[in-house]
Amino acid sequence: MSSFVSRVVVALVLLPVVIGLVYLGGWWIFGLTLVGGLIALHELYVMARELRPLVLGGYLGFVLTLVGLQLGGLEWMMGGILATFVFCFVVYGLSDVRASATTSFGVTVLGVVWVGAGLGFLLLIRDIPDFGFWAVMAVLFTVFAADTGAFFVGRTLGRHKMAPAISPAKSWEGLVGGLVSAIAMAFVILYKDRGDFLTIPETLALGAAIALASVLGDLFESAVKRDLTVKDSGRLLAGHGGMLDRLDSLLWAGPAAYYVILAFGHAS
């Protein structure tokens, strides 16, 4: 089974569960985000174990980031992220292992900001009154459409490498294919709310922003894995990658989508 087919199978198996919990919202989607995020964060810290991440401090910071967001919004999410520095320093001070403080702090906080904030913005999108569910669905399916379009167009027409030092398989032709697919998907999902939520031009802009952020998120994880000399973040999902491999695009697409929606006056 190819990597792409495996990703599709895993998505089809998990999709009903994800859609159901997103639909329920509240603490249900919080629980989904917490579990998935902790697994992804664990995978990052395992990959970077030689850099001596302060794992306990990272876990505490991640949980506090999401709990703060759930109870108090964006301001308290930032409080959780900042508290990670305190947790890291305390754990480092109590440890008898003398690793590089800068390196340990850096990789620990990276995980909390990358995974915690990335997922947190999806929770903020879900909290948009009346339209939160469909907005999250638009993000999820637009990311999938961008990935699918980029794969097939890049495989058939790809000639010009986009980032050969990071991900040799990605091409500029694939990027265009993913961009078109993403814009079309966002248009289809949000078209029914065009009179009350995003206008058609705003929806097209949202699809483009999600597509571009999705590619950057994928490339960002590829750069991290290449630096840490690993192929996959884990083997949790059908032996073809870990949780972080499945979330990498969403961790950038979520914040991008939130700020585009905010710019158009539909989020707070």
In the chain, where the domains are located:
3-263
- Segment 224-248 mean pLDDT: 82
List pLDDT tens digits, range 66-116.
999 999 999 999 999 999 999 999 999 888 767 788 999 999 999 999 999
Please give the pLDDT value at position 216: 95
223 or 6, which is more confident?
223
Residue type, 175: L
The yes-or-no verdict on residue 8 having pLDDT over 70 is no
181 burial via Cβ count (<10 Å: 0-12, 13-18, 19+): buried
Q: How many residues does the chain have?
A: 268
Can you tell me the distance from the alpha carbon of 183 to that of 249, in angstroms, rounded to the nearest whole number? 16
The yes-or-no verdict on residue 240 having pLDDT over 80 is no
Residues 6 or more apart whose CB falls under 8 angstroms from that of 140 comprise: 18, 22, 250
